[in-house]
Amino acid sequence: MTTFFQVAIDGILAGMLYAIVAAGLTLIWGVMDVINFAHGDFLMVAMYVSYWLGFLWKVDPLVSWIASAAFIFLLGVVTYKLIVSRCIGGKSAMAPLLATFGLSMLLKNVCLNRFSPNFRILSGTWLDGKKWEAAGLVFSMPQVVTSLFSLAVILVLWHLIRKTRTGWSIQATSMDREAAELMGINTERVYVLVFGIGGACLGVAGGLMPSYLATHPEVGSLFGLIAFVIVALGGFGSIPGSLLAALLIGLVEAFAGFYIAPVFKYVAVFAVYLAVIMVRPKGLFGW
């Protein structure tokens, strides 16, 4: 029985990490109907920022996440301004998706070229290897802390969208851009902000992850794909939806990996996506 709960805990912790990655993506997708193919690679870049700060200047990930978040916020803004803003609204709905795919390729290979494909692990961080044991279960501290940060970010995001004026501008813009413009909302600024915030969420996660995950150029790809699946599962634009879907996927992954076979971890994840989407073509909470 303990094993069952252990697997469940691991699943939930993994799910919380997915949740923060998905939150940023669902925000972007919900507001401007753009799939940012480079989303996973933004995470990878965030990890490298944190890694190099830790490796070169001994900055602990518990601090460097601030730098990562800021950096990826900027990266998001630049991506929007230089690329996405010039692609949306045209005849091709696929243009932003493919352009960001190009960006993904670019980021991945620049990092590959400059930093080599080696897996890089940051040792000697403050949380490194620390565990918390309770009721016969083991909680990996780095993961727990990351999950707490993730929860905090999602709650802040949720509050921002729901209760602040900026959040209402964002909601209005996502429902009808033209109408929002007519009501004096600077929708261009909303778009820039949304891309930046989406990036910042990743920056927080990516900043903390080097304390327990290895950094390498391909680390973002799978996260990105799973984030797409989670967002689609939860219904695009829905932050609570993506949180629930992320937890679900985390659990599916953990249980499939443990009780069936490690290789089936992601087969199960993608299969669950297909199964749900057949029954509810707009995701669990989509509108």
Within 10 angstroms of residue 143's Cβ, the number of other Cβ atoms is 23
**CA 133 – CA 174 distance, rounded (Å):** 44
- Does 97 participate in binding another protein (rule CB under 8 A)? yes
**3-state secondary structure (DSSP) of residue 134:** strand
Nearest distance in Å: CB 30, another protein:
11
Applying CB under 8 A, among 3, 4, 63, 102 the residue interacting with another protein is 102
Please, where are the H alpha helices in 83-140? 95-115
**3-state secondary structure (DSSP) of residue 265:** helix
Nearest distance in Å: CB 191, another protein:
16
Segment interacting with another protein (CB under 8 A) among 98-106, 118-126, 151-159, 192-200? 98-106
**3-state secondary structure (DSSP) of residue 122:** coil
Question: What tokens were used for 239?
Answer: 């932050």
- Does 19 participate in binding another protein (rule CB under 8 A)? no
Cα distance between the two ends of the chain:
39
Question: What tokens were used for 186?
Answer: 């600077």
**CA 201 – CA 69 distance, rounded (Å):** 7
Tokens 């993904």, residue located: 104
Applying CB under 8 A, among 3, 5, 58, 109 the residue interacting with another protein is 109
- Does 103 participate in binding another protein (rule CB under 8 A)? yes
Number of H helices, E strands in the chain: 11, 2
Applying CB under 8 A, among 15, 40, 257, 283 the residue interacting with another protein is 283
Closer by beta carbon to another protein, 26 or else 146? 26
Segment interacting with another protein (CB under 8 A) among 16-24, 130-138, 191-199, 229-237? 229-237
Closer by beta carbon to another protein, 160 or else 225? 225
- Does 264 participate in binding another protein (rule CB under 8 A)? yes
- Does 260 participate in binding another protein (rule CB under 8 A)? no
Question: What tokens were used for 232?
Answer: 């689609």
- Does 155 participate in binding another protein (rule CB under 8 A)? no
Residue 117 DSSP symbol:
S
Q: What character string, x for contact with another protein (CB under 8 A) and - otherwise, covers 26-55?
A: ---x---x-x--------------------
**CA 247 – CA 251 distance, rounded (Å):** 6
Contacts with another protein, residue ranges (CB under 8 A): 29, 33, 35, 83, 86-87, 90-99, 101-110, 112-114, 117, 225, 228-229, 232, 236, 261, 263-264, 266-267, 270-271, 273-274, 277-278, 281-283
